[in-house]
Structures are given as structure tokens and as C-alpha cells.
Structure 1
């Protein structure tokens, strides 16, 4: 078997999955979204649920490096044993159920809380530390977020600029995208935030960034997300919500954690910048005083 039996689904490289045929991509999406079903149901049952021919899943296993379907199934079983599916099922119960007659506000709040718990439970701390180190070492950091992702990255940039220099949001109104891209290189870093439905403009900007050999970090909602296609580090959030719109709360928490870790790495330099900016805000009368 070319894939180790203790491999996690997170370790299946998104770029490899992106190269699959449409039918195999559909099967791959089912596998990564439903490891519990793969682990507990027969291949024939899986085929019926996914509405795909049973051999498709065997071909998928071979395409991503397994010797057979059974080996891929073992990976899914490991996911179940590591509680990922259990957490997801709890989140679904909270969102879909009517616990104690909870109204919409309560159900929404519970979903947001569970999304945050899932974020923390599934975070690979080694990858997170690597991302923080990459951003700390970068001379410039570019953020990509379009449509609903824009306010999230705007907040991240505002928070970062209080303590760090060289952070910017690409493609903002009034800012020259070409000049911003020209200033980025191998010593820079970029973060893209995009969840389904994925904004084409965000993906196009990410492609331009990658053409400049800029390391890309992706925050998205699915291992098959086009935002993670060429990322050197990818992180996944659950945006589940009883609202018609996906929740961005977990994404906000992620950026707060990541930028906080970067500030810790930068140490006194970051602290001194925060103090200087805060003093200037006082000097300019930006803060209300009684």
C-alpha cells in the first residue's frame, strides 16, 4: 500500500484529488464528507447512497495511492475512532434538532459554538505553528477574501496591522492589484479565505499569487475546495448554520488564533508597535473618554 494505514483524510493532498475525473471527484467528495458511512457500510450500500457504481470507489482508492478499497476504508475507520464523525454528528443534531424547544436564536448560537469546537478539535497544531512561523518570517503578507469573505479578511488585516507591518488585502476597491502583486515574492506569504460557493475572483487572485511563487495558506470548508488546490498549508472550518447563509464565526476565531500566534513569535517588536499605535489613537482622540 502506497498510503500508510494511519493516514488521516487531511493528509490526502487536495491537489491530487483535484486531478481526478469528475466521477472520481464526486466519489472523493463523498468519502471525505462521510468517513463514518465508508467505515460502517458495505461498498454496495455506499454506491447506492452516493448514486455511483460500486467500482468507482475501488478506482478512487487506486487513484489516490491505496492498493485496494479496504485500505481506504481503514483510513475512514481511523477517522471515526478519532471522534471526527462523532463531533460532526453532534453538530448536526444541534442544528437539525429541536432541543428543549430552542428557538432560531438558540439553535444558531449552538451551531456557531459547535463549529468553533470542531475547529479546535480538528486543528493540526504542527501545521498551525508552521503557518504562524511562515507569516512571521514573511516580509509581506497578502490576504485574499472576496464577497462574504471580504469583511473577515478586512478584520484580520486590521488586527494584524495593530502589531505587524506589511499586511494587506489584495483586490480591495481603489487598490491596484497589479502593483500589489508585483511587490510579492518568495519571501512573502498569502492567505486565502473562501468557502462554498467559492468566489471566482478570489481563486483567480490566488492563481496570480501562486504564479509569483508566493507560499499560499488556505482557510476553506472542504478538502476538495479549489481554494486548497495549490496551498502549502490548508485548514478547514465548518460553516454549518440554521441560517440560509454559512456562518463565518469559526473563520474569525481561526484568524484571531493565527494572528495571536504570529504576535507571540514576533514578541517585543509586536508589543512595541501595538503600544505606539494605541498611543497615537489616544493622541488623535480616536478613543471615547468620559
Structure 2
């Protein structure tokens, strides 16, 4: 069931919840996401006939996405489309390599604004507070999310918030077990299903530490283990696309923005740390 922001668009909710829906509901959700314009025009029964499920499955899908029923879901889809009923589409049609690149960038830009649509002010404030106030902060990220973990730890350090980043998965678990109350473990996992990251979360929770998560899927195993999860809507269309294309751009944008929010919260001490960082960076540059 949807528990994110009430302002989140319908397609964003589908992207976040589809992996955790029942098989029949997932088929309905994927059919809707695959052709939003057609879904707006179809009744619940027409959608059920198209997908090959009962009408009750269509209603349950809408309710799982946070709507009273399918009519309310259709209204939400209509609101999401741009004036005139046309969805944002790729503007470039040339098939050159440069044309494909431009289309990819346009597609990304068109979806970027929805990436944080599921976040709430309360969750974000608490997330930043825990980062700021924890005695120790362990950053854990594995697989294709690993570069984000290292980047995030470095950015936090430059803002005056020391954070531990360990690339070895066993080392992560050892560190997590030693955190204890008053400390925090922040995990970055696009899929929310990385086994090594889940083991780190379990170890951190057993130690009494607060477990934070940045992920792309609301009902992933990792989300169930977190005390506070910031769920970023995938730029790609589905869980399958997330596994195949593995874009972490939206997650990186969030981590960079969180550092900015932390600097605002910490005020002069964070700005002094950033100034010291720039001094070190400047000395490392050469003509």
C-alpha cells in the first residue's frame, strides 16, 4: 500500500511499488504504465479484459497505489499528462548516435522532477538530523551503488561530518556490529535487494544503531529493514529496466542535495569545513 507523499504522480507510484505487488496487480500496473493515454480512456472492466484478470484485481491495484479506486487512478493519470493529453516524449527523431544521446538526455530530464515526488518533509528532516547528530556514521553501498557510497562519504567529510566508508563487505558487517546506540548506518542500494547490504543493515540494527536507506523501491527488502528510507523514483520504467540499465543518477542527485541540506542545517561549522576542504583541493592543483 502506498505510504509516500500524496503529491506523488501515479506513474511514480507504479515504478516504486510494482516489484512488491501481487502478480495480477503487477500486470495491471505494467499495462497502465506501458500506455498511460490508453489507460485514462479505459474502464476498470476494459483494463481487466485487456490484462486477463478479474475486475477486482484492477480495483486492488488502484488501492495499492493509494487511490480509492480505478476512477481516481484514471483522474490522477490525466492530471499527470501535459495539457492536450500528450505525454512528454523524446523530441529528437534522428537515428544518429548524437540524436540517440540527445533523446536519452531529454527523456532523463523529463522524468527527473518526479524522482523525489515520493519523499515527505518529515522523513527528509529526520534523515538529515540523524546524519548530523549520530556519534558514528557508517556508509555502506555495494554492487553498482558502491561509487555512490564513496562519493557520499567524501562529500560528508568535506562538509565537516566524518563518515566511515569500507569497500569490503565483510569489513562493513564488522563495523556495523560495533556501531551501537547513538550511531547510524546509512545504506545506498538502488534495487534494495543487495544481499551484502541487507546483511550490513541486519548487523547495524542488532547493534542498536539507526538504519538509514536510500533506494529506488518502496517495498524492497532493504526498505523493510530501515528505520528511515528515502525512496527515489527510478528514472527507468520498471524494476527490470532498473536491473538492466542500472541508472544511479537520481540517487546521486539526492545524496548531493542531502549534503547541501546538511550544510544549511549545520551553518557556520559546515561552511568552515568546506572552506578547509577547498584549501586542500587548491593546493593539489597544478598548472
Q: Same fold (TM over 0.5)?
A: yes
Within a 5 Å distance, the mapping from 1:7-22 to structure 2 comes to 22=22
Per-residue CA shift, 1:174-224, capped at 9, x if unaligned?
872343112323423333322349433223323333334433333323333
What displacement does 1:81 show?
6.0
Q: Is the Cα contact below 8 Å between 2:178 and 2:207 reproduced in 1?
A: no
Per-residue CA shift, 1:119-156, capped at 9, x if unaligned?
25555444323322232222222323211111112111
- Give the Cα–Cα distance (whole angstroms) in 2 for the partners of residues 179 and 200 of structure 1: 15
- Give the Cα–Cα distance (whole angstroms) in 2 for the partners of residues 153 and 125 of structure 1: 23
Pair 23,214 (structure 1): closer, same or farther in 2 beyond 3 Å:
farther
Q: Is the Cα contact below 8 Å between 2:115 and 2:235 reproduced in 1?
A: no
Question: Are 2:204 and 1:203 equivalent residues in the alignment?
Answer: no
- Give the Cα–Cα distance (whole angstroms) in 1 for the partners of residues 131 and 32 of structure 2: 29
Q: What's 1:106 paired with?
A: 102
- Give the Cα–Cα distance (whole angstroms) in 1 for the partners of residues 253 and 277 of structure 2: 23
Within a 5 Å distance, the mapping from 1:1-290 to structure 2 comes to 22-23=22-23, 26=26, 30=30, 40-58=41-59, 71-73=68-70, 76-77=73-74, 79-80=76-77, 83=80, 90=87, 93-94=89-90, 98=93, 103-119=99-115, 123-170=119-166, 172-173=167-168, 176-196=171-191, 198-231=193-226, 232-240=228-236, 245-280=245-280, 285=283, 287-290=284-287
> Which runs of 5 or more residues in structure 1 are unaligned?
none
What displacement does 1:51 show?
4.2
Pair 226,159 (structure 1): closer, same or farther in 2 beyond 3 Å:
same
Aligned length: 270
Q: Is the Cα contact below 8 Å between 1:112 and 1:250 reproduced in 2?
A: no
> Which runs of 5 or more residues in structure 2 are unaligned?
none
- Give the Cα–Cα distance (whole angstroms) in 2 for the partners of residues 206 and 152 of structure 1: 17
Report the secondary structure of 2:168's partner residue: coil
Pair 268,203 (structure 1): closer, same or farther in 2 beyond 3 Å:
same
- Give the Cα–Cα distance (whole angstroms) in 2 for the partners of residues 212 and 160 of structure 1: 23
Aligned-CA RMSD value: 4.3
Per-residue CA shift, 1:241-260, capped at 9, x if unaligned?
99962322222111111111
- Give the Cα–Cα distance (whole angstroms) in 2 for the partners of residues 209 and 98 of structure 1: 50
Report the secondary structure of 1:216's partner residue: strand
- Give the Cα–Cα distance (whole angstroms) in 1 for the partners of residues 194 and 133 of structure 2: 29
Q: TM-score normalised to the size of structure 1? A: 0.70
Q: Is the Cα contact below 8 Å between 1:221 and 1:238 reproduced in 2?
A: yes
Report the secondary structure of 1:185's partner residue: coil
Q: TM-score normalised to the size of structure 2? A: 0.71
- Give the Cα–Cα distance (whole angstroms) in 1 for the partners of residues 184 and 169 of structure 2: 22
